[in-house]
């Protein structure tokens, strides 16, 4: 039997001028509040074994190592009696791009905020813990039932935004056209329904992959976007009949190349949703998700109860140096990952959120390719260690035009950030990064996290793969198939890519998609074999779950980078730098 409790807490923090996280544009700042933001939690206990897990979904862009550490530290310091361990807590995000940033300790994610914002960080941590505690303290005997089906192709809810990359995969036998982009996504929604033993609904959790980007980068109001509206609609619908604390979570699955936007806006020069008013588009998209989820919710009531089984395992992997198993190498020699690098295509953005101008991108590519030619020509004359680093970088990153080397802390091949040829006045975000470098706050630590958590939770016949990234449609299918092949021996019938979980490092594309170097490939930071590395490491973790718990050997590659208070203080948000933007 299961025991289940749910909780919900406010994580809204309004601070004028703070940059929103997601689009990476310096002008995308907070000036008001449209909707509140929430963290929702479900705690599930197996009464047979005593094991329990906490599943959390927060209405922010993604989870960071800092948030996870803060949550675990507070749980263990103030709520130790609840008994949560590192591997029994999965923290996810629904990926709204209209929530304040500033909750990462790593420099690159502070660039457009600009800086670390202690108040935002603390509000998110405190809210997540509050939701977990409420859920844990309201736990009672309950059932879990599942229902799933496809959202109809006629529903204007999800479209593939990188169709040429999707079509490059061998799984795609018939290449799809632009007007068929709605078919190049996983339209399945899967929902868990939680009821107490009297049949009263406690909550629901569904997974459906679509970016929470109905609101564009010209928005200045905090908002939970389409999935936030869907959650509110569903909670309001069910609570009209039951006066309990029913919560509804709309979580992400395979969403890396999936957008809610499909109409070209001639004025803005990017794609948008159904309406010119982005808030109306967000509500419209949320309504579609809500209506389908509610149908599944009603259908689930008549389904069989999920079998009682609960297990969890987690480890940390250094993705700078993974040797990829041959079956995941797509026929390539020496398949491995390398230190994190971001490509020009990442900074150019997408059709729904454009970044740097095309002329600037073209100039950057010219400079980068000249730098690459120079590096390779000079390598034979360098020490073996330095030469090997050069060869490794270009081998693992393949066709990527490398703009930022987050591990080596270089931009356009230079570590002298404060004296970059790009002037600070041309791009305030670059100007801020120059100031960070000048005051020493970028230090000698990587600009993004590279030692990352991966996690598997088995719940009945479901397995949740906690991924610290966003994964494309086909890449996600490959990972789910890899894990299903192994975990079927545990009675698992469906694997779910639980994306934006526990940390964040960018995207995961297939090897074939990566070669085109569209936005997603440019943000697949560990190189062209990152998916293969993810499959390799998740398979190893899954194999351990086939063993009795006392015989498992889960080895960690180390622990994520720790930043001092002094480093963060030097890189903290300063309202003075935002005054001009606030007045615009």
Q: Is 582 a residue whose pLDDT tops 90?
A: no
Q: pLDDT class for 542, splitting at 50, 70, 90?
A: very high
What 3-state DSSP class applies to 258?
Answer: strand
Find the mean pLDDT for residues 288-294.
Answer: 98
Q: Is 110 a residue whose pLDDT tops 80?
A: yes
Q: Is 425 a residue whose pLDDT tops 90?
A: no
What 3-state DSSP class applies to 245?
Answer: coil
Q: pLDDT class for 430, splitting at 50, 70, 90?
A: confident
Predicted local distance difference test score (pLDDT) of residue 434? 87
Least confident of 129-138, 236-245, 311-320: 236-245
Q: Is 156 a residue whose pLDDT tops 80?
A: yes
Predicted local distance difference test score (pLDDT) of residue 243? 58
Instruction: Identify the H or E element spanning 520.
Output: helix 519-522
Q: pLDDT class for 130, splitting at 50, 70, 90?
A: very high
Least confident of 283-287, 399-403, 419-423, 573-577: 419-423
Predicted local distance difference test score (pLDDT) of residue 241? 66
In whole angstroms, what is the distance from residue 13 CA to residue 412 CA? Answer: 35
Q: Is 137 a residue whose pLDDT tops 70?
A: yes
Token digits of residue 407: 């591990």
Domain locations along the chain:
143-316+450-548
Q: pLDDT class for 576, splitting at 50, 70, 90?
A: confident
Dihedral angle computed from the Cα positions of residues 346, 70, 14 and 231, in that order, rounded to the nearest 10 degrees: 80
Predicted local distance difference test score (pLDDT) of residue 426? 65
Find the mean pLDDT for residues 389-393.
Answer: 95
Are the CB atoms for 128 and 11 separated by under 8 Å? Answer: yes
Find the mean pLDDT for residues 389-416.
Answer: 95
Q: Is 584 a residue whose pLDDT tops 80?
A: no
Predicted local distance difference test score (pLDDT) of residue 242? 58
Q: How far apart are the first and last CA of the chain?
A: 57
Predicted local distance difference test score (pLDDT) of residue 61? 98
Find the mean pLDDT for residues 226-233.
Answer: 98
Predicted local distance difference test score (pLDDT) of residue 429? 76
* Average pLDDT across the chain, whole number: 95
pTM: 0.97
Are the CB atoms for 483 and 465 separated by under 8 Å? Answer: yes
Asked whether the CA dihedral 473, 22, 216, 284 is positive or negative, the reply is: positive
In whole angstroms, what is the distance from residue 280 CA to residue 560 CA? Answer: 40
Q: pLDDT class for 435, splitting at 50, 70, 90?
A: confident
The three-point CA angle 214-216-222 to 5° equals 85
Helices (H), 301-357: 344-348
Instruction: Identify the H or E element spanning 10.
Output: strand 2-10
Residue of 582 and 248 predicted with greater confidence: 248
Find the mean pLDDT for residues 459-486.
Answer: 98
Q: pLDDT class for 419, splitting at 50, 70, 90?
A: confident
In whole angstroms, what is the distance from residue 515 CA to residue 109 CA? Answer: 25
Helices (H), 398-529: 428-438, 473-487, 511-516, 519-522
Least confident of 77-86, 283-292, 497-506, 556-565: 556-565
Are the CB atoms for 528 and 165 separated by under 8 Å? Answer: no
Find the mean pLDDT for residues 298-323.
Answer: 97
Residue of 579 and 123 predicted with greater confidence: 123
């Amino acid at each position: 039997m299961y025991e289940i409790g749910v909780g919900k807490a406010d994580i809204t923090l309004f601070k004028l001028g703070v940059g929103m996280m997601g689009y990476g544009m310096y002008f995308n700042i907070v000036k008001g509040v449209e909707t509140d933001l929430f963290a929702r939690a479900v705690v599930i206990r197996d009464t047979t074994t005593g094991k329990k897990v906490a599943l959390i979904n927060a209405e922010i862009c993604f989870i960071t190592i800092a948030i996870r550490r803060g949550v675990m530290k507070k749980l263990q310091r103030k709520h130790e009696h609840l008994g949560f361990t590192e591997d029994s807590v999965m923290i996810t995000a629904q990926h709204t791009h209209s929530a304040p940033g500033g909750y990462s300790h790593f420099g690159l994610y502070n660039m457009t905020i600009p800086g670390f914002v202690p108040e935002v960080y603390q509000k998110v941590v405190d809210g997540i813990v509050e939701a977990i505690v409420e859920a844990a303290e309201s736990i009672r005997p309950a059932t879990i039932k599942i229902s799933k089906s496809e959202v109809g192709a006629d529903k204007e809810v999800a479209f593939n935004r990188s169709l040429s990359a999707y079509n490059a995969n061998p799984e795609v036998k018939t290449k799809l056209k632009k007007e068929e982009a709605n078919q190049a996504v996983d339209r399945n929604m899967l929902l868990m329904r939680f009821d107490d033993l009297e049949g009263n609904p406690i909550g629901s959790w569904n997974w459906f992959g679509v970016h929470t980007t109905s609101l564009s980068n010209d928005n200045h109001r905090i908002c939970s976007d389409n999935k936030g509206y869907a959650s509110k609609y569903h909670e309001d619908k069910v609570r009209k009949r039951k006066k309990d604390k029913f919560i509804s979570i709309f979580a992400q699955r395979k969403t890396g190349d999936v957008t809610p936007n499909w109409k070209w806006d001639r004025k803005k020069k990017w794609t948008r949703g159904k309406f010119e008013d982005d808030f109306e588009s967000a509500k419209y998209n949320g309504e579609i998700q809500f209506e389908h989820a509610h149908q599944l919710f009603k259908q689930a009531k008549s389904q069989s109860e999920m079998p009682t089984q609960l297990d969890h395992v987690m480890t940390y992997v250094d993705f700078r140096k993974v040797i990829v198993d041959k079956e995941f190498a797509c026929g390539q020699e020496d398949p491995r990952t390398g230190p994190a690098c971001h490509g020009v295509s990442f900074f150019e953005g997408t059709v729904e959120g454009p970044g740097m101008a095309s002329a600037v991108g073209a100039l950057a590519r010219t400079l980068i390719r000249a730098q690459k030619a120079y590096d390779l020509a000079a390598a034979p004359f360098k020490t073996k260690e330095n030469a090997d680093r050069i060869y490794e970088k270009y081998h693992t990153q393949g066709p990527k035009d490398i703009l930022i080397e987050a591990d080596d802390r270089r931009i356009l091949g230079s570590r002298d950030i404060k004296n970059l040829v790009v002037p600070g006045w041309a791009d305030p975000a670059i100007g801020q990064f120059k100031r960070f470098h000048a005051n020493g706050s970028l230090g000698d630590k990587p600009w993004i996290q590279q030692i990352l958590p991966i996690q598997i939770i088995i719940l009945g016949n479901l397995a949740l793969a906690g991924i610290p990234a966003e994964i494309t449609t086909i890449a996600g299918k490959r990972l789910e198939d890899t894990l299903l092949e192994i975990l079927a021996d545990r009675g698992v019938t469906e694997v779910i890519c639980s994306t934006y979980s526990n940390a964040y490092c960018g995207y995961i594309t297939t090897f074939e998609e990566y070669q085109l170097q569209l936005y997603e490939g440019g943000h697949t930071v560990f190189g062209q074999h990152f998916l293969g590395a993810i499959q390799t490491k998740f398979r190893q973790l899954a194999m351990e779950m086939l063993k009795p718990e006392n015989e498992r050997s889960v080895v960690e590659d180390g622990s994520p980078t720790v930043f001092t208070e002094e480093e963060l203080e030097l890189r903290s948000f300063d309202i003075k730098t935002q005054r001009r933007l606030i007045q615009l």
